Structure formats: C-alpha cells, structure tokens
Chain A
Amino acid sequence: MARKITIYHLYPNNMNLYGDLGNITALEKRCLWRGIETEVVNVNVGDTVDFSKADILFMGGGQDTGQKIVASDLQEKGQAIREQIQGGLSALLVCGGFQLFGHYFKTLEGNQIKGISVFDAYTIASNRRLIGNVVTDITHNLADWKIEYGFDVTEKNITTLTGFENHSGQTHLNPGLLPFGYIIEGYGNDSNKQYEGARFKNAYGTYLHGSLLPKNPHLTDHFIMAAIARRYGVKEALAPLDDTIELEAHQASTTRAKTAKTVSL
C-alpha cells in the first residue's frame, strides 16, 4: 500500500547552522529508496500551519540572531506543537531547536528567551563552549522502539548514536525527564559528561549534528516507522536497506570521538 509522510521543517531560513539539511535529506532518501512518498513543508517565521498534518517535525540550530527571531514566533505555535507531541508526533530537535523546546534559554546577560516547554528542561548560557565528536549509549530507547514498531535495532548491533556537538548553552533536565542518550565520549548536555539530549514521548532533543541522521540510520528508520504507524495505524517493518556505508561512517565518527582531542573554548 502506498505510504506518504510529511516532514515539517521548522525555520529552515534561520535555523540551519550545522548541516541540518542532511537530516532532512536522510529522511527523504530512506523513504524514497523504499517507495515511501515524502513531502517537506518549510515552516518559517509568520507562517500559519496545521501541525496535525505533520508526521515528523524537525528543527535545527541557528546563530543567536536567528534564534531570537524564531523564539517569539515559536511561542505562537507552541500550543499546537505540544498537543501533537502529546499525541505521539515524532520530532527531532537539534541544538538550538532542542533548547527552544525546553522552558527557557538564559543568556549570558541574564535575559530569558522563552521556550515552548515540550521538555521539562532549561538551558543556561556559559562562557565555555563544548565542542567535539560525541558517542552516546541509547540502549534504553531501543526496547520501546522494538516493541512499538516491530523493528529490532539491536539486530544491526548499534546501540549508540554518534555526532558532533558545539554549544555554549548548558541544558539541565528536571527529575523525571529521560535523556536521549548516556555519554560514552564527549560532553553532552552540560560539562558533567553524563547525559545527552532529552526524550519526551516520541520527541527527541539532542546537541548532536554532523549531520546526525545520515550516519545513524537506525534513528532515521525509527522516525520513519513511527510516523507511518501513527499516520496509518499499522505497525509494519521497513524494507531493509544496505547500510554498509552508513555504518562505516558511524564507526569512523565513533573512532574519531575516541582519538581526536575534544576542545572546550
């Protein structure tokens, strides 16, 4: 049966700092290669949109100026986004996107930029920039992914995510909110080298770019599968793809996280 999923890309004009387009490309191609139709809807400042039409929501990172412009616009869309995520909408929020989906971002000057409180978390700017390759353990998510969608990620023997972080904001998760991953290499949400990102229902916040999805195909496929399950009410396995090149890039990034020096400026 023909399937189609719609990807809402939030603020591509302002929040596209670190190869974020690669994430959209990965979703599109892995659908295309399986005969699943995709549509990408770019949502920019001032646009009126119906989030019930979205199957996957994506937002990337931006420069400070970009972040300020979108923050107030996002407030107007916040209620609708929260409702959809409560109802199981898949979302990937990278870096600045992750920060603005928390309660607030407190700048160095002490100003609070309001977020939309999808995640019970807040971010505080610091003078220190956390930069480098990252590897996280995401085993705790995999059981859910498997049970809900019949997709056994562990068969592929990857229980990690890998990417690159570059942020000066330090994000703190309130008790009860699960991190997306546990740090194996790199810094993560703050300088404690413990937690990376956050997960609420099927919304995942993370500092990992690089781009994240192309070299973490298990995560990409999870989003596609969850989107189809929610849209069509069926849990179906995706046609397998040859992921040799993806997994070699995953391995190369993992190795680099161990060998290259991380920097904090």
Chain B
Amino acid sequence: MYNIIMRKFIAIVAAEFARALVMITKKGSGSALPGVFAQKVDPKIIGKLAKMIKGGVIIVTGTNGKTTTAKMIASILETAGHRVIYNFSGSNLSRGIASFLVQKTSFWGTRIDGDIGIFEVDEATMPEILSMVQPKYIVVTNLFRDQLDRYGEVDKTAALIGKALAMAKDTTILLNGDDPLVASLSSYNSKVQYFGVNDKYQTLSKGAIDSRNCISCGHELTFSPRYYGHLGNYKCSNCGLSRPNLDYSITDMSFTVESSKATFNAPNMKTDISISLPGLYNLYNALAAASIASDYGIPETTIITALLKLSAAFGRMEKIKIGEKNIYLMLVKNPTGFTQTIETLTFDKDKKNILIALNDNFADGTDVSWIWDAEVEIINNYYSNFTVSGIRGDDMLLRLKYADFDTAKITKELDLKKALESALKKVDDGETLYILPTYTAMLEIRKNLANQGLVKGYLE
C-alpha cells in the first residue's frame, strides 16, 4: 500500500518537475511532457487519479467533433454547478490525459480539483484508457476517414474503439445511430443508447467517398434521407439492417452561416435548442452533449442556456474582430469535415471572402490527397475573393482548377503571414474573411494574430 501511494506521489512530483522545466525553458506548450514523466514513474497513474473524481468520468471519442462535444458537455455541467475538469489544451493521447490529471491533483496526490472529469480521447488511445478507467459515459461522435497516414484505416479505428467498449462495465454508451459504423459498435457492448437526426434536411454534397456499404453484408445502403457523409437514416435492402431506434433525436433544424437551431427530443424532455455555431455537424455535437446531460438529470433550462452561450473550441471555429473587419477561423482536417464546413458557407447567398491554408506537417496529416475527396465544387459560386496558402497551397490551387474555379481570380500566396495580410486587405469593412486552415496552419495564423494582440496566445 505504502509503495503504491509513494509511486503515485513520485509520479506527480516528476510531472510537476517536467512542467517547471517546460515553463523555465519555454519549450513546447507543456501539455504532454509532464504526462510522459508521470507515466514513466507510474504507468497506472491515469487510473489512480481518475478514481479520485467523485462524480465520474465522461469520455468523448470519434473522428470529428470530439473537442466541441466535450466542451458543450462541460459547459452544461458547469452551468449546472459542477466543478468540471477536462483536457482541452490539445493533447488527447494518454500522455496528454496523464498531464492534465496531474495538473488538477494536489501536490500530495490526495485531492483532485473537480467532481466530474471529461476526457477527450483519441480513438486509438481508447483501449489503453479503458484498461485503467471505468467511465460513467462514453460517447462516440462519428467515424470518418481521418489522417490515414497515422492510423491506417477507419475499420481498424472502429475495432480499437470496440475493444475499449468491451472493457466498459457500468458505463452508459452513447452511439451516433445515424453512422452505420458507429452503430455497429453495439456488437462489442450491448449497453448502448443511440442519438441521431430526424429531419427532411438534404445535403448539397454527393458524399461519394465515405463508405456507404452495409456493415453486415457489404451491399450498398440506401438513405432516406442522408444528412452528410455516410450519416443518415439508412437501410440495407439486401439483409434488412437499418438504423436503430433513436433514444435521443433532433428535429426541425434550421441554419444560418453562423448559427443553428433544432428541437431536442429525449425520453424525459422535448425542447428547442440554439447554438452560435453553424453546420449540421455542430448540431450533432450539441445533440450528443444534450443527450448525456438529460440522462444525467440536468434540467432543460440549464441545457438551453449553456448551449446558447457556448463558443467554439480552440481554433475549431472562432470569430475574431480586426478593426471593422471579422475573421472566422474554421479548422479543416479531413474530407467530410471540409465538405461540411464549405457547405455551411452556402447557407446564405452572400459572396464570401475565403482563405484556405493547407499544410502537410505531421499534425495536419502529411498526405494531402484528401482534398481530392472534399467537394470544393460546392462553393464555386459563393465567393468574391479567394486566397490559397500554406506549404501545399499549390495542391489546393490545383484542386480548385479541377473543380472548374476560374483560377485567374484566385490569389496564391504560400507564405501564411502575407496571405493573411493580402486577403484581409480585400475584405470590406463589416465583412468577414472565412479562413479554412489545417491544424498547424491554424496555429500559425493564431500566432500571427496573437503577435498583433488580436487573440490570446496558445498558453492561455
């Protein structure tokens, strides 16, 4: 017993030491190194610290919408008076989770500063976390192709999440019922509930690239309707597989370029919700968050208030005022997300100022071939100014050429700082520059804006 406690203590000290080191040397963001140290000393540190969170742990995983969903859940629970701790500083791998837990733990390892923990967990890290933590809830947002050069393939990702779900004992598992692959995860653990959309909404996207074959027999699925990617009310005409009955749903959706509304239906409530984020994918995030909150017993009014006041997760979708002009940052990282983001820009008919910044560093995914699966054609008639930038700006311009854009009207400026300046110059007062950056391009743009004192730096 003494040894176990000592080990935890030393792990915490090691992590604190690493944090101090990071602060002193000012190298890196400091979000992962303390965790690396703590796990070296005590590989089970995550499990030990998570046990001290009295109200339990909520885990959010899936390809798109993890951070935003986790942030929405946190906002609702905080509004309800809970002290919530969460790993929002970026790293959702086990070292990042270890880091954030150590940071929230008292020096002697006896107290943790929160009564509910929300862990955003990378899909491939799920089995490792579930081997140490028994969460109260797990929510799986969706499964799309992501940075394939890192993990291989989406079926493998599903199997990893499934392996983790099989380890969950007293956990309520919330699955996106509109996603055939996510819904099929119920084969690993039958204690599941489903959320999804019931609406006439029809996407502009053709969604040609996402797997739309039946999980069980391989036959092509039919959707009535399809909402985006491979999400929708699906059915297999060959083997009869169909979307499961939804425990939680949204109906009567409506959108503008910067906000969305819908009616939320749960076993114990039916209420209108409204969020200051655009796009169906963000309504899915709100649906997942509201589903957990209603099951947790959070009152309707609290859910409505919390969702309404919420702003987007770091860099995911962020509005910044520059004098009389606005910048709207919308992170893009995979073809389905990119197509969805582009589609939101068509929700009103105003011509948009657009800057796309495509980098191919490790955190972006080093393979840029996914831009050929994004349906950039959708915005061909919706822009007034268009700039491409980033390390692979040449590839982006080429993509636009083959989507029949008039490339003579597009500015190519690979240097992000210059691209930002020249794109902003073309924006009229009162108008918005919509920036679609990949991850490291987003960091670079934020850094530029921070240097001008327009946004807070990375270490908030």
Contact = CB atoms under 8 A, between A and B. Distances in A.
Contacts of A13: 211-213, 220
B155 interface: yes
B218 A22 contact: no
Interface stretch (B15-23, B74-82, B346-354, B390-398): B390-398
Contact of A29 (B367, B392, B394, B402): B402
Contacts of A215: 395, 398
Contact of A245 (B152, B209, B212, B407): B407
B154 interface: yes
B372 A69 contact: no
Interface in A222-265: 245-246, 248-249, 251-253, 256, 260, 263
B372 A166 contact: no
Given A22-B372, A63-B153, A210-B367, A249 B395 contact: yes
A17 B373 CA distance: 9
Contact of B149 (A19, A22, A66, A166): A166
Interface in A3-36: 12-14, 16-22, 25-26, 29
Nearest to A23: B372
Given A26-B402, A211-B369, A263-B149, A21 B209 contact: yes
Interface string A18-59: 111110011001000000000000001100000000000000
A253 B368 CA distance: 10
- Interface of A (DSSP majority class): mixed
A214 B402 contact: yes
B83 interface: no
Contact of A21 (B373, B393, B401): B373
Interface string B354-370: 00000010000011111
B360 A64 contact: no
B208 A21 contact: yes
Contacts of B371: 19
Contacts of B204: none
Q: Which of A45, A209, A249, A260 has the most CB of B within 10 A?
A: A249
A20 B211 CA distance: 14
A221 to B, nearest CB: 14
A131 interface: yes
A256 B392 contact: yes
Contacts of B398: 214-215, 245-246, 248-249
Interface string A68-108: 01000000000000000000000000000000000000000
Contact of B369 (A18, A63, A66, A248): A18
- In this complex, the interface size class of chain A, counting residues with CB under 8 Å from chain B, is 35 or more
A151 interface: no
Given A17-B148, A214-B398, A252 B369 contact: no
A18 B213 contact: no
B368 A251 contact: no
B394 A166 contact: no
Contacts, number: 104
A48 B52 CA distance: 62
B366 A132 contact: yes
A46 B149 CA distance: 31
Nearest to B151: A265
Given A13-B220, A63-B154, A260-B360, A253 B372 contact: no
Q: Which of B368, B371, B372, B401 has the most CB of A within 10 A?
A: B372
A174 interface: no
A126 to B, nearest CB: 13
Contact of A164 (B145, B208, B369, B391): B369
Nearest to A248: B394
A44 B209 CA distance: 14
A129 B372 contact: no
Given A26-B402, A64-B153, A253 B366 contact: no
Contact of A256 (B148, B209, B360): B360
B439 to A, nearest CB: 16
A210 B370 CA distance: 8
A251 B149 contact: no
A225 to B, nearest CB: 19
Contacts of B208: 12, 16, 21
Nearest to B404: A29
Interface in A98-145: 129, 131-133
B366 A252 contact: no
A236 to B, nearest CB: 24
Nearest to B410: A245
A170 to B, nearest CB: 16
A256 B391 contact: yes
B209 A16 contact: yes
Given A16-B373, A69-B218, 20 more contacts: A14-B211, A16-B209, A18-B367, A18-B369, A20-B372, A29-B404, A45-B218, A63-B155, A64-B156, A164-B368, A166-B149, A166-B367, A210-B395, A245-B401, A246-B398, A249-B394, A251-B394, A252-B395, A260-B360, A260-B366
5 shortest interchain CB distances as A-B pairs: A22-B372, A19-B369, A19-B372, A252-B394, A63-B153
Interface of A: 12-14, 16-22, 25-26, 29, 44-45, 63-66, 69, 129, 131-133, 164, 166, 209-211, 214-215, 245-246, 248-249, 251-253, 256, 260, 263
Interface of B: 145, 148-149, 152-156, 208-209, 211-213, 218, 220, 360, 366-373, 391-395, 397-399, 401-402, 404, 407
